[in-house]
Amino acid sequence: MSKKFSLIIFTDLDGSLLHRDNFKFDEIKDYIKSLIDDGITIIPNTSKTEKEIEEFIKELGSNIPFISENGSSIHGLNLINTNFPNKIILSRDKQELIKIFNSKVPEELKTKCKFISNMNIKQQTSIFGLQENNLKNALNRKYTFPFIFEGDKIEKNKLLKFLKSSSLNMQEGGRVLNLGDNTDKVKSMNQVLKIYKKVESKIKVIAVGDNFNDLDMLRNCDIPCLVFNDEFKQDQVNIDNLIFSNKPSPEGWADVIKTALVKIGYKD
């Protein structure tokens, strides 16, 4: 059976491919590797740090490209084509970002932002659900600042407006908010596709997510896939042609991909 086009899967990790609580994916590891062996390019596009994703890749046992810290940096595109760059940085250094944050955001909003890096280990462990080296890797951030916001929805929207007006951004994940540069998962995904299209004209894109900061990525692909998340339901997500799994990750990830491959007609 011949392939009709090159296929790329951009996928969130926590809660989408990895189990929401224990971050495991043993049940679908062989399936993921079979997709890679079949020539499908899988690119994690996640809020996780470079070190965290490298640990995931080590456990997977297959070297793949990835996008870290909500679109801040792109790694390993040379694995797709040796002429592609190994690393692309789309974000300014985080120290420059925090200076802008401190100078532009009103004090009444800043005081409601509780940065995880300023908390003790017990608090950090409770928020991230990680310990020891895994916690260290999660905190080893080059471009973003995870934080908890202790204000209401109106104040959160006000904060976002101040950040946007200062060329910053705030991404909402499952456990924390992330302060970062004016980058996101869609911009980094489009950057990858722009490079990929230099050597391949026929490309189809599947995107997989489970949370609010994945929705724009899902809206900008050929086949959007949503893995079950009890924080919001399918009918709350207005995306055309959405494939939805009733199972949580990791099994839910395999379910949506299998459905997507049939729907997209990957092979004759």
Task: Render pLDDT for 189-234 as a digit per residue (tens, 0 to 9).
Answer: 999 999 999 999 899 999 999 988 899 999 999 999 999 998 766 6
Task: Render pLDDT for 2-27 as a digit per residue (tens, 0 to 9).
Answer: 678 999 999 999 999 999 989 999 99
Prediction pTM value: 0.94
Nearest to 249 by CA among 225, 267, 268, 266: 225
**Which domains are present in the chain?**
6-89+184-264 (3.40.50.1000), 94-181 (3.30.980.20)
DSSP-based three-state secondary structure for 169: strand
Residue found under tokens 């959405």: 242
Strands, sheet with 168-172, edge to edge from the N-terminal-most edge strand? 113-115, 145-149, 177-181, 168-172
Q: What are the two backbone dihedrals, phi and then psi, of residue 150, each rounded to the nearest 5 degrees? A: -100, 20
Q: Hey, what are 256's tokens?
A: 């949506």
* Residue 253: burial class (beta carbons within 10 Å; 0-12, 13-18, 19+): buried
CA–CA distance, 186 with 201 (Å, rounded to integer)? 20
